[in-house]
Amino acid sequence: MTTAPAQNSLAYDRAGLSRPLAATAATDVFAHVADEVSGLLSERIIGRVAAITGMTVYAAELPVPVGARCVIHTRRSGRIHAEAVGLLNNRTVLSVFGEATGIAPDDAVECLSGPPRVPVGFDLLGRVLGSQGEPLDGRPAPRLNIRYPLYCDAPQALQRRPIDQPLGLGIRSIDGLLTAGRGQRLGIFAGTGVGKSVLLGMICKHTQADVNVLALIGERGREVRDFVERQ
């Protein structure tokens, strides 16, 4: 009978401080449940579209905080999701997710929740998702029971773990001449068509990491499938 090393029973929180794994799991579960309950709306908040400019919608009679998730009920195109991004002259400024086609004056605007939270869990592994968490790989939606706030405070500077361990990227020129460290941020800057996406795919494929989270922001739509299947 073998036992795991003592350090395997420890986990690191956001500040980089170690604590027992069991206590971590239990504390996180209760904390998320408490956050979910506190984020529930006590009553429905419904306003109306007063004006629209491009992708920005101005809603009247919608007293919601900045960051609240809303949905615009249009008479033509159904539901259009948006986020409260500001307040101006007693109106709530909304940024629309996707196209604003079909939004008309006096369309109903309903607040769905407070500051946005994103679902997380192991079912995200190996999946291809859109910006709103919708599956793009033709598979059923992942089952995720825990949500984390999208906007949260960063760890204090003196509580961050130091970058003192190398991270192998599987590319000899980088590992030998420009070694990366665990927790380090790297920037890849180059002109169009010189291989930034190819290099990024090589790093994702060969790096010594358990999980890779890849966000393709601003990539051409025709290149997404090629990147997922070949890189």
The predicted pLDDT at position 87 comes to 95
pLDDT in tens, 164-202: 999 999 999 999 999 999 999 999 999 988 988 889 989
The predicted pLDDT at position 29 comes to 55
Q: Is the dihedral of CA 77, 130, 141, 116 positive or negative?
A: negative
Mean pLDDT of 63-67: 92
Q: What percent of the chain has pLDDT over 90?
A: 50
pLDDT in tens, 193-212: 898 888 998 998 999 888 99
CATH match for 118-230 among 3.20.10.10, 3.30.2310.20, 3.40.50.300, 3.40.50.740: 3.40.50.300
Q: Which phi-psi region, left, alpha or beta, contains residue 126 (left: φ > 0; alpha: ψ -120 to 50)?
A: left
Q: Please report which helix (H) or strand (E) contains residue 81, including its range.
A: strand 79-88
Tally Cβ neighbours within 10 Å of residue 10: 13
Q: How far is the C-alpha of 83 from the C-alpha of 93, rounded, in Å? A: 8
- Cα 149–Cα 113–Cα 32 angle in degrees, nearest 5: 40
The fold of 46-113 is Thrombin, subunit H (2.40.10)
Mean pLDDT of 36-40: 54
Q: Which residues contact 222 (CB under 8 A, 6 or more apart)?
A: none
CB 181 within 8 A of CB 165: yes
Domain boundaries, the chain: 46-113, 118-230
pLDDT in tens, 104-124: 999 999 998 877 888 999 999
